[in-house]
Amino acid sequence: MSAPGDDSKKTLSVGQRAEVSLAISRKRGDETIGTHSQDGDRSVSAEKNAEGEIAWQVEGRRPQGDKGELPCASTLIQKLNSEGKEWDQPIKVENQYWDCESVHISDRRKKLLIQVTRMGDFWKQWAKEGAVRENDAAVDDLADSILAAIRKKAVKGDWSNVVLALDAASAPQHALTTVVLEFSKKHGGSATLAGFKEIWLIGPDSVTTHRLTQ
- Helix, strand and coil in the chain, % to nearest 5: 30, 35, 40
Query: What distance in Å separates the CA atoms of residue 19 and residue 174, rounded to the nearest whole number?
Result: 20
Q: Which of 77-81, 116-120, 204-208 has the lowest mean pLDDT?
A: 204-208
66 confidence band (pLDDT: 50, 70, 90): low
In a domain, 123, yes or no: yes
DSSP state of 104: B
- Nearest Cα to Cα of residue 31 among 213, 212, 184, 204: 204
Give pLDDT tens digits for 143-177.
Answer: 999 999 999 999 877 899 999 999 999 999 999 99
Query: What distance in Å separates the CA atoms of residue 89 and residue 16, rounded to the nearest whole number?
Result: 12
In a domain, 40, yes or no: yes
What lies within 8 Å, CB to CB, of 85 at 6+ separation is none
Label residue 135 left, alpha or beta by phi (over 0 means left) and psi (-120 to 50 means alpha).
Answer: alpha
In a domain, 5, yes or no: no
26 confidence band (pLDDT: 50, 70, 90): very low
Q: How many structural domains comprise the chain? A: 1
pTM of the model as a whole: 0.86
What lies within 8 Å, CB to CB, of 179 at 6+ separation is 54, 139, 142, 143, 146, 173
In a domain, 49, yes or no: yes
Tell me what pLDDT residue 156 has.
76
Tell me what pLDDT residue 63 has.
78
In a domain, 80, yes or no: yes
In a domain, 186, yes or no: yes
Give pLDDT tens digits for 71-109.
Answer: 999 999 999 999 999 999 999 999 999 999 999 999 999
Tell me what pLDDT residue 184 has.
97
Q: Which of 25-29, 65-69, 123-127, 208-212 has the lowest mean pLDDT?
A: 25-29
CA triple 79-80-83, angle to 5 deg = 90
What lies within 8 Å, CB to CB, of 210 at 6+ separation is 4, 175, 180, 200, 201, 203
* pLDDT mean over 56-82: 89
Range of the domain at 194: 10-211
Return the higher-pLDDT residue of 12 and 75: 75
Helix (H) or strand (E) holding 128: helix 123-129
35 confidence band (pLDDT: 50, 70, 90): confident
Tell me what pLDDT residue 106 has.
96
In a domain, 78, yes or no: yes
Does residue 211 surpass a pLDDT of 80? yes
In a domain, 120, yes or no: yes
Does residue 57 surpass a pLDDT of 80? yes
